[in-house]
Amino acid sequence: MDEPIWGFYSYLSGDYRVKKEMYNDISIEVYYQHGYNVDQMIYATKRSLEYFEGHFTPYQYRQFRIIEFPRYQGTFAQSFPNTIPYSEAIGFTADLRDKKNIDYVFYVTAHELAHQWWAHQLLGGDVQGQTMLVETFAQYFALMVMEEEYGEDTMKRFLEFELDRYLTDRGGELIEELPVYLVENQPYIHYRKGSVAMYALKDYIGEDKVNAALNKMLEDYAFKGPPYPTTLDFLADLRQSAGAEHEALITDLLQKIVLFDLKVDEVAVTEQDDGRFEVTMDVSLAKFEADGEGQETEVDVSGLFDIALLGERDEETDLHEVISIEKYQIDEKSDTITIVSDVKPHAVGIDPFNKLIDRNPDDNIKSVGS
């Protein structure tokens, strides 16, 4: 090892084939018996290293090893220092041919590599919120690499999945739902809600400002002993990076339990004399704050919301072409928005990419003429 490590390591053995490629001076090594997605794992590792090292602290080892294990031992991957036990069931035998599905081999590889920073460079104090510093930040790292690789519009599929899992699983909470910054090893919060919250932060505040706050954490605490950081340290760095104008947004996403109910009620499109199209849509909005037991209180909905004009749905990916998307300030529970477009839309949407925690995201998009 080139840097000190935690007392946390794995033993694996098998009759392996090995494929190795270099990324700069890092040896990427995959030990496998099923070779279907080995090249994709290596490619995802290279793309992730490119993003992580390009925006954050350097990778700390001379090798990165992915090692297959049988599906009867589980369907997970886990990140140890420079070594990733990776189930055949979620990687080595995955069928990625349907483009409507998430490339979860790329995602899992990026997420586990991200843990070489979040857990193996920096580990938080043993207090509430520790798993945000490990799992939520690894999710964010993976999301940024996925967005670079597949494009912003493709993120809708992943965020939709994460939002659905969060909304479903919070209904089964037996003790208390906590805000993200106080999460106590609750996967539906630190994985699912954390993904949506961090992506929304990136979208509203800017990727450079979120990354600056994360980098400050690494620079201050990586490879160091006590005192260990907490989510309060991250919130302070994030607020300093983001500026006072984003104070309420940070509080809503990370320090409260906030839910929305956003809907497109009606849409009309009129062709103008100059050949352009006037699009008028009626939207309704509601915002709620919940306590840990799920009791909700309606609050002021005022804020910025994505309003989009969407083109035809791609048959291969099942995603709409994005004609335009822009944030509009909306201060009331209902509003009428008018946009003039050079292209006739097939659908319109409010928060169409599920960046906010919406209790019913299915009515955020409405087809023209429906």
Average pLDDT over residues 346-359: 95
Interatomic CA distance for residues 322 and 310, integer angstroms: 5
Q: pLDDT class for 316, splitting at 50, 70, 90?
A: confident
Interatomic CA distance for residues 286 and 130, integer angstroms: 31
pLDDT score recorded for residue 370: 67
Average pLDDT over residues 332-355: 96
Per-residue pLDDT for 317 more than 80?
A: no
Average pLDDT over residues 305-334: 92
Average pLDDT over residues 12-34: 97
130-140+148-256: CATH, from 1.10.390.10, 3.40.50.11540, 3.60.21.10, 3.20.20.10: 1.10.390.10
- Identify each DSSP E strand in 2-154 by its residue range: 17-23, 26-32, 63-69, 83-87
303: Cβ contacts below 8 Å, ≥ 6 apart: 249, 287, 329, 330
CA 151, 156, 162, 165 dihedral sign is negative
Interatomic CA distance for residues 332 and 285, integer angstroms: 8
Note the CATH architecture for domain 258-367: Sandwich (2.60)
Q: Give me the long-range contacts of 340-344 (CB less than 8 A, separation at least 24).
A: 340/272, 340/276, 340/277, 340/278, 340/279, 341/276, 341/277, 341/279, 341/309, 342/276, 342/277, 343/277, 343/309, 343/311, 344/269, 344/271, 344/277, 344/368
Average pLDDT over residues 25-47: 97
Per-residue pLDDT for 156 more than 70?
A: yes
347: Cβ contacts below 8 Å, ≥ 6 apart: 310, 320, 365, 366, 367, 368
Q: What is the pLDDT of residues 249-267, one digit of tens each?
A: 999 999 999 999 999 999 9
First to last CA, the chain: 61
For residues 180 and 189, is the Cβ–Cβ distance under 8 A? yes
Residue scoring higher pLDDT (113 or 98): 113
Average pLDDT over residues 344-358: 96
Residue scoring higher pLDDT (362 or 3): 362
Interatomic CA distance for residues 232 and 125, integer angstroms: 11
Q: pLDDT class for 1, splitting at 50, 70, 90?
A: confident
Per-residue pLDDT for 319 more than 90?
A: no
Name beta bridge partners: 50. none
Q: Return the structure tokens found at 257.
A: 């339990």
SS3 81: coil
- Identify which of 72, 86, 84, 75 has the alpha carbon closest to the alpha carbon of residue 120: 84
208-222, 274-288, 309-323: lowest mean pLDDT where?
309-323
Asked if the bond preceding 227 is cis, omega within 30° of 0, the reply is: yes
The answer to whether the 130-140+148-256 and 258-367 domains have the same CATH topology is: no
pLDDT score recorded for residue 64: 98
Per-residue pLDDT for 204 more than 80?
A: yes
List Cα–Cα distances, 148 to 103, 152, 154, 302, in angstroms: 13, 8, 10, 31
Q: What is the share, in percent, of the chain residues with pLDDT greater than 70?
A: 100
Per-residue pLDDT for 115 more than 90?
A: yes
pTM for the predicted model, two decimal places: 0.94
CATH 1.10.390.10 assigned to 1-121: yes
Q: What is the share, in percent, of the chain residues with pLDDT greater than 90?
A: 89
Q: Give the domain ranges of the chain.
A: 1-121, 130-140+148-256, 258-367
329: Cβ contacts below 8 Å, ≥ 6 apart: 302, 303, 304
Average pLDDT over residues 217-238: 96
pLDDT score recorded for residue 74: 86
CA 76, 79, 85, 90 dihedral sign is positive
Q: pLDDT class for 369, splitting at 50, 70, 90?
A: confident
**Average pLDDT of the chain?**
95
- Looking from the CA of 353 toward its CB, the CA atoms found within 13 Å total 27
* DSSP one-letter string for 331-355: -SSEEEEEEEESS--SEEEESTT--
Q: Return the structure tokens found at 189.
A: 């919060």
CB atoms within 10 A of CB 89: 17
